[in-house]
Amino acid sequence: MEIIDKSQTKKINPAIEEAKLQKKKGYAGLKFECPELRSQMEYFQNEVSTLGMDKEDKKAKQIAYCGVLLNQEQIPENVNMSHVIYSCLGDILDRQAKSVESNIGNALKSLWNSSDPEILKKIEQNYHGPVSPENGAPTPREFLLYLVKKYREENPVHENKPNVKRSFIRVYF
């Protein structure tokens, strides 16, 4: 019998493993080889597009990429966005995590504060998550968590079901 502590059972995030291979490749590195991850990237790009953002826009791609990274985490709400998600994207773009967060925040503020009535209508019809009372737009964290929650509701096969009978003791024969 071998006792395995909880730290050894952490699920490896395949999106982050792929992202590590794209380090310092810039916006050309915002892609995935794995078909499932590519499909998720497309989903998140389409989601930002439904809100009125050009899905090929660099900031929209950052949002979508962060969505894929966050979606691979078992409990997205518990993820330290700066140290895990934004820093991973920052390594690809050769930027600081704070800069990535700022880019996403500015893109969201710009979209939510648009004077275009069509964009405002799209947001009203398609976004049902929290918004900051300070600027009327969601924070990057709130927005990404909303996107991941929506993805998981629409694609329940992806959900990480808890292993109720999980044991930390492994028996070898």
Domain of 42? Answer: 2-170
pLDDT for 169:
37
Contact 45, 60 (CB under 8 A): yes
pLDDT for 10:
58
For residue 3, give the H/E element and its range: strand 2-3
Structure confidence at residue 13 as a pLDDT band (50, 70, 90)? confident
pLDDT for 163:
38
Give me 136's structure tokens: 């009327």
* DSSP letter, residue 54: -
pLDDT for 12:
79
Residues 173, 150: Cα–Cα separation, whole Å: 43
Residues 32, 1: Cα–Cα separation, whole Å: 39
Q: Give the SS3 label for residue 131.
A: coil
pLDDT tens digit sequence for 51-61? 999 989 999 99
Please say if the pLDDT value at position 8 is more than 90. no
Please say if the pLDDT value at position 159 is more than 90. no
Residues 129, 122: Cα–Cα separation, whole Å: 14
The number of domains in the chain is: 1
Please say if the pLDDT value at position 87 is more than 90. yes
Averaged pLDDT for residues 63-88: 95
Averaged pLDDT for residues 39-47: 96
Give me 25's structure tokens: 């490749």
Contact 104, 66 (CB under 8 A): yes
